[in-house]
């Protein structure tokens, strides 16, 4: 360990990268609760993070609105009226802008100011950020609120893309002026979440839509509906219970599994359980179902068979029906998608499906897409090709810790961290939803991470410690615990962004703790209650 440097005054106490759900709350917590000088740096021209960037048609939340929000302010909960079960992108963005205005956060947010690099300098014990507008900025603490997905869009290296004479865009970086699909021949490449959400909406507008599918997806129906003032009033009357359940549940939602094994019920009982949850819609099908759905292949196969049957019931054409039915991975091995009219869209006469496993794309030409079988004439190409998830946003900037250690070098074989919150060798750098954290309902996870980080900083100030970073042994033990939990789930059986398999050349590793959010939260609370065991405070 290098000698502790003399303290000197930084430009800010806390530098926050990002102004989405994570960055906004971290700014509020650091500035208005801890009383620190804090500033958030945002590359985009507005707040909102994921919901500022993901403006594609059909972009919508897949968590119920009343828990896809902050819980830290009762006044905020009381005054905001959600329009429906799953709010669309403009409504969520309006909510986050309301939060920024209500808590006067904008005065400490620097927009269109990308952080290009961040270096911890041993000589002064500060983080030195190279920012696009302000040049070098120094801070005592660095907090990353850069999100899991949106800031690292994945554009595959398809020959000829730049030479396409029509319009092309990635769903994660949608043009602010939008795209007019009326009368156009459109292609959507990719059937992940952004593809599944955008395809039904584009199909209603385009003259012809061709979907290029690499892997068929398991989805569950949203069963979206509007929300009246009376419904919200009923929720508000029970909000304390709602949030308590969400904070200690498996996925950060206010419900839990039924406590039974799917193998213990009769086939009729299993069918009735699945059908009831299917009609309710959304993630209840996973998190309010059987306790062994994600950990027992036999129980999982019952759910997989049920969802496959539901897919087949929605698609008329036998060939298309089979192409859309997943057979190469179990339900839940990839993050299940919440959809609205996705499969029924393939019954439209203006929609066709190309199976890339059978006829891959050879190149993009000036006028369309050439597969190994035929040329598709197109006016618009939409890349719904996903994101370099979790670690990608970190790799887009140069982050260096002690003695010039580059984060990309430390993570060359896959990311390591302690609880997804701190990294050994990178003092006073804290991550919100970083690699190694838990995956669940994002605002609930974000609030916990922000409050945990703020609690650690407050503890440091109270006991007179200048630096905090993960103990290497604790980091190693956490990696082993993550691997052990992952091995007991079906997740490693699917090629997904959650394991890095969607990006060519990316190290293959499970990027999250795949146990219950409630268990993860209890572990973090225990660490804090025992003077931050596993964190080196110097």
* Interval 87-116 mean pLDDT: 98
Q: What is the DSSP letter of 84?
A: B
CA distance 448 to 452: 6
Q: What angle do CA 274, 275, 277 make, to 5 degrees?
A: 65
What CATH architecture does domain 153-227+248-386 belong to? 3-Layer(bba) Sandwich (3.50)
pLDDT exceeds cutoff 70 at 6: no
Helix (H) or strand (E) holding 474: helix 472-487
8 A C-beta contact, residue 517 and residue 444: yes
Q: pLDDT class for 2, splitting at 50, 70, 90?
A: very low
DSSP reduced 3-state for 483: helix
Counting residues of the chain whose pLDDT is more than 90, the rounded percentage is: 93
8 A C-beta contact, residue 469 and residue 424: yes
CA distance 96 to 84: 17
Please choose, from the candidates 180, 195, 187, the residue with its C-alpha nearest in 3D space to the C-alpha of residue 164: 187
CA distance 23 to 29: 10
Q: What is the DSSP letter of 163?
A: G
CA distance 70 to 311: 35
pLDDT digits (tens, 9 = 90+) for 346-362: 999 999 999 999 999 99
pLDDT exceeds cutoff 90 at 336: no
8 A C-beta contact, residue 110 and residue 18: no
DSSP reduced 3-state for 318: helix
Adjacent-strand bridge partners of 137: 129
pLDDT digits (tens, 9 = 90+) for 441-497: 999 999 999 999 999 999 999 999 999 999 999 999 999 999 999 999 999 998 888
pLDDT digits (tens, 9 = 90+) for 360-369: 999 999 999 9
Q: pLDDT class for 1, splitting at 50, 70, 90?
A: very low
Q: pLDDT class for 32, splitting at 50, 70, 90?
A: very high
8 A C-beta contact, residue 280 and residue 224: no
8 A C-beta contact, residue 194 and residue 385: no
Q: Which CATH class is domain 12-47+105-152+388-537?
A: alpha beta
Residue with the two structure tokens 């398809």: 158
More confident residue, 426 or 495: 426
Q: Are strands 368-371 and 375-377 parallel, antiparallel or unpaired?
A: antiparallel
Counting residues of the chain whose pLDDT is more than 70, the rounded percentage is: 99
Q: Taking each helix axis from N to C terminus, what angle separates 442-463 and 21-28, rounded to the nearest 10 degrees?
A: 30
pLDDT digits (tens, 9 = 90+) for 389-421: 999 999 999 999 999 999 999 999 999 999 999
* Interval 198-203 mean pLDDT: 98
The predicted pLDDT at position 151 comes to 75
CA distance 45 to 390: 22
Backbone angles phi, psi at 278, to 5 degrees: -60, -40
CATH 3.50.50.60 placement within the chain: 12-47+105-152+388-537, 153-227+248-386
Average pLDDT over the chain, rounded to an integer: 95
Task: Kindly write down the DSSP assignment for every residue of 279-308, as one continuous string.
Answer: HH-TTHHHHTS-TTTTT-HHHHHHHHHHHH
């Amino acid at each position: 360990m290098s000698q502790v440097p003399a303290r000197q005054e930084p430009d800010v106490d806390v530098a926050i990268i990002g102004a989405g759900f994570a960055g906004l709350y971290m700014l509020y917590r650091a500035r208005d609760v801890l009383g620190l000088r804090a500033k958030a740096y945002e590359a985009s021209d507005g707040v909102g993070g994921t919901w500022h960037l993901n403006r594609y048609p059909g972009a919508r939340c897949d968590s119920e609105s009343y828990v896809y929000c902050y819980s830290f302010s009762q006044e905020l909960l009381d005054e905001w009226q959600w329009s429906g079960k799953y709010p669309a992108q403009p409504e969520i963005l309006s909510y986050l802008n309301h939060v920024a205005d209500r808590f006067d956060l904008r005065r400490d947010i620097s927009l269109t100011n990308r952080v290009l690099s961040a270096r911890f300098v041993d000589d002064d014990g500060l983080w030195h950020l190279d920012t696009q507008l302000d040049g070098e900025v120094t801070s005592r603490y660095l907090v990353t609120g850069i999100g899991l997905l949106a800031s690292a869009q994945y554009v595959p290296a398809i020959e000829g893309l730049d030479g396409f004479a029509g319009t092309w865009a990635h769903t994660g970086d949608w043009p602010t002026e939008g795209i007019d699909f009326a009368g156009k021949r459109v292609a959507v490449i990719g059937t992940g979440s952004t593809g599944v959400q955008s395809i039904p909406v584009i199909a209603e507008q385009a003259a012809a839509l061709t979907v290029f599918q690499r892997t068929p997806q398991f989805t569950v129906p949203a069963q979206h509906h509007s929300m009246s003032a009376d419904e919200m009033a009923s929720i508000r009357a029970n909000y304390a219970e709602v949030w308590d359940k969400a904070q200690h549940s498996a996925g950060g939602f206010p419900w839990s599994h039924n406590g039974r094994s799917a193998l213990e019920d009769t086939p009729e009982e299993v069918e009735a359980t699945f059908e009831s949850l299917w009609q309710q819609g959304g993630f209840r099908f996973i998190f309010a179902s059987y306790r062994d759905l994600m950990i027992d292949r036999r129980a999982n196969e019952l759910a997989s068979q049920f969802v496959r049957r539901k897919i087949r019931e929605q698609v008329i054409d036998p060939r298309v029906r089979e192409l859309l039915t997943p057979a190469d991975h179990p339900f839940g091995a990839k993050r299940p998608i919440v959809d609205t009219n996705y499969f029924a869209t393939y019954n439209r006469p203006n929609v066709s499906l190309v199976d890339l496993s059978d006829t891959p794309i050879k190149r993009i030409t000036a006028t369309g897409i050439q597969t190994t079988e035929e040329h598709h004439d197109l006016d618009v190409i939409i890349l719904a090709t996903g994101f370099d998830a979790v670690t990608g946003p970190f790799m887009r900037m140069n982050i260096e810790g002690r003695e010039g250690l580059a984060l990309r070098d430390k993570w060359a074989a896959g990311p390591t961290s302690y609880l997804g919150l701190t990294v050994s060798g990178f003092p006073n750098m804290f991550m919100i939803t970083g690699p190694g954290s838990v995956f669940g309902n994002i605002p609930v996870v974000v609030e916990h991470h922000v409050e945990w980080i703020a609690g650690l900083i407050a503890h440091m100030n109270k006991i007179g410690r200048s630096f905090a970073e993960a103990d290497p042994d604790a980091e190693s033990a956490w990696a082993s615990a993550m691997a052990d939990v992952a091995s007991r789930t079906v997740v490693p059986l699917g090629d997904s962004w959650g394991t890095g398999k969607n990006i060519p050349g990316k190290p293959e590793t499970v990027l999250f703790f795949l146990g219950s959010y409630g268990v993860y939260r209890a572990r973090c609370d225990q660490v804090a209650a025992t003077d931050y065991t596993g964190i080196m405070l110097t």
